[in-house]
Amino acid sequence: MILAVLFCIGDIDSALSTSTGYPFMEIFLQATNSVAGSAAMAAIITVLALCATVGLLASTSRMFWSFSRDRGLPGWRTLQKVFSTTQPFKSRSTNNLLQVNVRTSVPIWSVAATTVISCLLALINIGSVTAFNNIVSLAVVGLFTSYLLASGLLLYRRCTNTIKLSSESPIDLVNAPNAPLVWGPWRFRGFFGIVNNTFTCIYLTVILLFSLWPPATPVDASTMNYSSLMLGAVLIFSVAYYVLYARKEFQGPVLETQRPNFSDST
Amino acid sequence: MSILGFSCTVLITWEATLILFLSGFQNGGPAGVIYGFLLVWFGTLSVFATLSELVSMAPTSGGQYHWVSMLAPPSSSKFLSYITGWLTVGGWQAAVASGGFLTGTLFQGLIALTVPNYQPKSWHGTLLFWAVIFFAVFVNTVISNLLPKFEGLILILHILGFFAIMVPLVVLGEHGNASNVFTLFLNGGGWPTQGISFFVGLLGNVFAFIGADGAYHVSNCLPNPIPWAALTMT
């Protein structure tokens, strides 16, 4: 797709300075010479982007829900409530811990929280597009930092050989804080696993580093990339909140997994 | 099926590369966009593989902060897990906001495309953003039972739409020449070297692939994550 578009760029300058704000619309227009045709093509993308937002909201509200169930967020008592159309909670046959069933229950307060925060963030756009763009890049920075922490620790455990095969660990409680670690049914074995894991960490580090750079030089206050500031703000806030309050509330994740019922395939 | 649809529609890879085309084009140029896409594709696959190993060890809706808490040394487990939780929540929250923002301004772009004398204002963008978010809330709450079907439907649109756009472009458009496309690097940001410019321009491609962990949070029963991942990302 990207190839097709790159081949069809006619007049680059007019594409980049298009009044629509999106060069691809101008490229469509140049390629098809028809406003109706390119509007239809652009509408497909717009509808898909709309649906992606639906999915993003679903994911985010589940993330809010999960973290407040573990007492990580302020107001977790409310945020963890779910609204269900059939039964209040579904308990799994394997364990009796509460589990939201995506098809029947909606973490209604988490959805509300996500919505309100998003709508407030949208107000920033009126004042400054730059400030808003930094929230966009916070998505990359925040998520990639969390990936990097998890993958980095996995690499450390992998190299120190702390993760055992399921059959080697006689204890029932595994893969929880202070419990033995066992591999799941799916993994890369041996050397290739280390290579892949190392590549993951390097890739994440490189991208993280460059996502903090502004898009163009010379840089002034209005074109600066403030995502390092945003990242710092989230970090400082969460550390402060942890030290002052959450240290007592947050007890680590609720145990969701008991020993999985699988045999090692080796 | 609906999880595949879900992953596809959250990632919306090919659509997003178009939407975010500008940043890669300014820093990197056509060749930069292509090789950047390949690099990011490969990198994301690797990240996905690593996360899949983790999801296979502990399939939880919490994801990253759960994994960090089980992998970190006991003394810092709670603290690191807490910070990771915040980063994930913050990152996802920002992703929703960016999704709403991009969609809102896409609508604005459509209006600008079809109504010749429309003057875009940034508060229009904000209002459209709100409309988009409320639509998302509506789907997620009022008709949440239909969500899996909805995702399946979108998957079809995702695939058909690809051809619906590709074919007119290829058939009707004038084609540039291949050497330009594959070798033309641009350094629109005015960076000291082309290499820096390339890496700075990667961000658009990176953002197109963001949200890879979304499926993990929504469903905690992905049987065999890697083939799914590879499928989603094409």
Quick one: average pLDDT of A130-153?
81
Contact A97, B79 (CB under 8 A): no
Cα separation, A131 vs A137, whole angstroms:
10
- The fraction of chain A above a pLDDT of 70, given in percent, is 67
Closest CB from B19, B22, B130 relative to A49: B19
CB contacts of B65 in chain A (<8 Å) are: 67, 70, 72, 146, 253
Nearest chain A residue to B28 by CA: give it: A215
Please give, one letter per residue, the 3-state secondary structure of A207-221: HHHHHCCCCCCCCCC
CB contacts of B15 in chain A (<8 Å) are: 45, 48-49, 52
Q: Which two tokens stand for residue B24?
A: 């890669």
Quick one: average pLDDT of A142-159?
87
Over 50: is that where the pLDDT of B122 sits? yes
Cα separation, A60 vs B217, whole angstroms:
8
Q: Which of B201, B196, B214, B187 is nearest to B92 (CA)?
A: B214
Contact B189 A216 (CB under 8 A): yes
Residue type, B180: N
Cα separation, A41 vs B106, whole angstroms:
12
Res B190: pLDDT: 63
Res B2: pLDDT: 57
Cα separation, A101 vs A255, whole angstroms:
17
Q: Which two tokens stand for residue B5?
A: 């649809």
Over 50: is that where the pLDDT of B220 sits? no
Cα separation, B44 vs A92, whole angstroms:
32
Residues of A (11-50) whose Cβ lies below 8 Å from B: 16, 19-25, 28-33, 35, 37-39, 41-50
Strands A105-106 and A83-84: antiparallel
Q: Which residues, 6 or more positions from A79, have their beta carbon under 8 angstroms from its beta carbon?
A: A64, A65, A68, A73, A107, A109, A110, A113
Is this structure's pTM higher than 0.90?
Answer: no
Contact B89 A138 (CB under 8 A): no
Contact A62 B60 (CB under 8 A): no
Which residues are A222's β-sheet partners? none
Cα separation, A22 vs A40, whole angstroms:
15
Complex ipTM, two decimals?
0.78
Contact B214 A25 (CB under 8 A): no
Quick one: average pLDDT of A234-248?
82
Over 60: is that where the pLDDT of B224 sits? no
Contact A51 B9 (CB under 8 A): yes
Closest CB from B67, B77, B112 relative to A20: B112
Closest CB from B64, B109, B226 relative to A147: B64
Contact A2 B181 (CB under 8 A): no
CB contacts of A164 in chain B (<8 Å) are: none
Res A264: pLDDT: 42
A121-135 pLDDT tens trace: 777 777 676 767 777
For residue B56, name the pLDDT band (cuts at 50, 70, 90).
confident
Q: Is A123's Cβ below 8 Å from some Cβ in B?
A: yes
Strands A163-164 and A181-182: parallel
Closest CB from B141, B174, B217 relative to A66: B217
Quick one: average pLDDT of A169-191?
73
Q: Is A1's Cβ below 8 Å from some Cβ in B?
A: yes
Contact B19 A35 (CB under 8 A): no
CB contacts of A73 in chain B (<8 Å) are: 89
Average pLDDT of chain B? 74
For residue A171, name the pLDDT band (cuts at 50, 70, 90).
low
Q: Which DSSP category does B12 fall into?
A: -
CB contacts of A218 in chain B (<8 Å) are: 190
Closest CB from A41, A138, A151 relative to B91: A138
Please give, one letter per residue, the 3-state secondary structure of chain A: CHHHHHHHCCCHHHHHCCCCCCHHHHHHHHHHCCHHHHHHHHHHHHHHHHHHHHHHHHHHHHHHHHHHHCCCCCCHHHHCCCEECCCCCEECCCCCCEECCCCCEECHHHHHHHHHHHHHHHHHHHHCHHHHHHHHHHHHHHHHHHHHHHHHHHHHHHHCCCEECHHHCCCCCCCCCCCCEECCCCCCCHHHHHHHHHHHHHHHHHHHHHHCCCCCCCCCCCCCCCHHHHHHHHHHHHHHHHHHHHHHHCCCCCCCCCCCCCCCCC
Instruction: Give the residue, B189 or A84, on which the prediction is more confident.
Output: B189
> 3-class SS at B176?
coil
Q: Which residues, 6 or more positions from B125, have their beta carbon under 8 angstroms from its beta carbon?
A: A125, B101, B104, B105, B108
Closest CB from A31, A102, A186 relative to B169: A31
For residue B189, name the pLDDT band (cuts at 50, 70, 90).
low
